[in-house]
Amino acid sequence: MEKGVSANRVIVSVLTVLVLVPLAFLTVNSVLMTADIPEPSTEATVFGPDMPWVHLAAAAAVAVLLAVFRGQLARLPEKRLLTVGMTLVFVAGLVWVFTMRVETGADQYFVLEGAKNFLQGDYQAFREGGYFYAYPHQLGLALYFQPFLLAAGQNAWLWIQAANVLWLLLGFYCLQRITALLFGKREVTNAAVILMLLCFEILLYVVFVYGNVPAFGLGLLAVLLQVKYFKSRNTLSAVLSVAAAAGGVLLRNNNLVWLVAMLLFYLMDCVFERKKRSILFAVLLIGANIAAGGTVDLYYSAVTGIPVNGGVPKIAWAAMGLQEGPRAPGWYNAYIRTVYEDADFSGAEAALAAGESIKGSLANFAEHPGYAVRFFYEKVSSTWNNPDFQSFWISQAQDYSNIEHNRLSNSIYYGKASLLLKGFMDIYQSLVYLGSALFFLLRFKKIGREQLLPGIIFLGTFLFHLFWETKAQYAATCFPLLIPYAAYGWLELSGRVREHFARKWGTGRRFPKAPPGTRRRHKKAPAGEADAIFRLIYQL
């Protein structure tokens, strides 16, 4: 048993370091520089210097406020705060959807139009040169769109956006429950809820008629149910978790990273906890994902009478991820389409060409290491250091919306409110990265294996898009997974600051333990406490 525990600790420590490394880089990078897409029509990322002193001042303010008001945060009723938070998100989301009326464009349009044509008996998208012929991985999303098209017709896009609000609420609820189950501290859970309410970038995504938000909700539901299984060993939780994970992948292929992370934790549970059932659920997770995709393909093949094509080979996305482009290094540059067309829609020929492209890119990186550093630095920065994660662009880039016809929204997207909101998002992003890094650093020896699950999904997403084609929108639904860590990290730092202050300027005694259900009930801060804490942080 000791060997098993020791091995578990080693694995947890290694995984913790692996998560901490990109977090540390993103923290420093977000303080020193920022990325933006100033011209929506080009989607090109522009890099610029940030204002480090503003971020450091904000970090000091957060530490001071949490040190002073930690007790009040611990006394807030969790359920009431969650209910208020979800109500605010629900109202704000629906108001945004029905006020902005942002119509579809690009892939959103092609998937929705393809699903509409399918229902009308037009199967051109499934034939050579058609959208689904080249991108069959979008068929799961097309199937999801079909009920909306049947119910709302031409207005389906609007009701898909309204449904996004419900998926966002599901994600909000699941993230709160995940935080409570993993950490079991009311002040951490409450702080996470407050941080979620301030995560405006994910709220702006409700007008995105794509799989991002539904997959976000299903992915977090899958994680929540898996954590419940680890805590209670309830078989139903594990089975439902598998179903939710498979559904998330159907709607957004990027959720495969979530599925692989869950698979890893089932395997570790089997090895370190001797739970043989976890192997069964790992196999079920793989099988359900394959079966779900296969079932969708069979459905469309049966109805259209046209076998679903293999489409653009996946290796083409990896090749594109190692190329330059007009948007940013490693971003979409139309290579996947052109290489497929140049190969006369032969997947095998396109795969060979993509393989050669990858070899050429790697050889170029090896020959010019300075260029390689610049390439990957800009690729990572454009993906993870854009504070709004393209949440402005997804609306600004569309051909039609009510944004310019509404005074408030016009200000939010183009005017003074835009500057304020983007400035806030910039600071918020840095605080989340820094708080998360603090959690993994300050609690390094105390982190439990299951507590790493959201972090491993983040790590997997980071590594995946380091080599695969990338965009900031791909990180948008992964970034909120860091919120529980950020909440805990800032509370951990503020707690240490407060106790240091108590020993140095107070009675020298630690604060007494709080009754069950709260963390600590602190006495009212003495006069001058905030100034003393600020001086201490400045010294650190």
Query: For the chain, what are the domain ranges?
Result: 7-311+386-501
pLDDT at position 187 is 93
State the Cα–Cα distance between residues 207 and 403, nearest whole angstrom.
Answer: 12
> What is the pLDDT averaged over residues 199-208?
92
pLDDT at position 99 is 84
Q: CB-based contacts of 281: which residues, under 8 Å, 6+ apart?
A: 229, 238, 239, 241, 242, 266
Do 112 and 104 touch, CB atoms closer than 8 A? yes
State the Cα–Cα distance between residues 102 and 402, nearest whole angstrom.
Answer: 7
pLDDT tens per residue across span 304-321: 999 999 999 999 999 999
> What is the pLDDT averaged over residues 468-485?
96
pLDDT at position 394 is 83
pLDDT at position 511 is 43
- How far CA 309 is from CA of 18, 45, 106, 318, 337, in Å, comes to 38, 34, 21, 20, 15
Q: Is the pLDDT of residue 391 over 60?
A: yes
249, two tokens: 């992948």
pLDDT at position 424 is 94
Q: Is the pLDDT of residue 37 over 80?
A: yes
The pLDDT > 90 percentage for the chain reads: 75
Q: Is the pLDDT of residue 322 over 70?
A: yes
DSSP string of 50-98? Answer: --HHHHHHHHHHHHHHHHHHHHHHHHS-HHHHHHHHHHHHHHHHHHHHH
> What is the pLDDT averaged over residues 217-221?
97
Would you mind telling me the total number of residues written for the chain in this entry? 540
The pLDDT > 70 percentage for the chain reads: 90
Q: Is the pLDDT of residue 530 over 70?
A: no
pLDDT at position 5 is 53
DSSP, res 512: P
- How far CA 396 is from CA of 168, 393, 403, 413, in Å, comes to 21, 5, 8, 8
Give the pTM. Answer: 0.89
pLDDT tens per residue across span 288-302: 999 999 999 999 999
State the Cα–Cα distance between residues 105 and 119, nearest whole angstrom.
Answer: 20
Mean pLDDT across the chain, nearest whole number?
89
Four-residue CA torsion sign, 529, 531, 536, 540? positive
pLDDT tens per residue across span 336-374: 999 999 999 999 999 999 999 999 999 999 999 999 999
> What is the pLDDT averaged over residues 189-217?
94
Do 304 and 125 touch, CB atoms closer than 8 A? no
- Helix extents (H) in 198-255: 200-204, 212-232, 235-251
Q: Is the pLDDT of residue 507 over 60?
A: no
- How far CA 132 is from CA of 94, 290, 301, 380, in Å, comes to 31, 19, 12, 30
Q: Is the pLDDT of residue 418 over 70?
A: yes
Q: Name the least confident of 97-111, 238-252, 335-349, 401-415.
A: 401-415
Q: Name the least confident of 26-35, 472-481, 522-531.
A: 522-531
Alpha carbon dihedral 437, 443, 444, 448, in 10-degree steps, equals -110
Please report which confidence band the pLDDT of residue 515 belongs to, taking 50, 70 and 90 as the band edges: very low
Q: Is the pLDDT of residue 9 over 50?
A: yes
Q: Is the pLDDT of residue 396 over 80?
A: no
> What is the pLDDT averaged over residues 33-61?
91
DSSP-derived 3-state class of residue 385: coil
pLDDT tens per residue across span 146-158: 999 999 988 999 9
Please report which confidence band the pLDDT of residue 416 belongs to, taking 50, 70 and 90 as the band edges: confident
Residue 423: closest CA among 387, 380, 391? 387
More confident residue, 160 or 498: 160
Q: Is the pLDDT of residue 487 over 60?
A: yes
State the Cα–Cα distance between residues 5 and 273, nearest whole angstrom.
Answer: 9
pLDDT tens per residue across span 224-243: 999 999 999 999 999 999 99
Q: Is the pLDDT of residue 393 over 90?
A: no
pLDDT at position 537 is 39
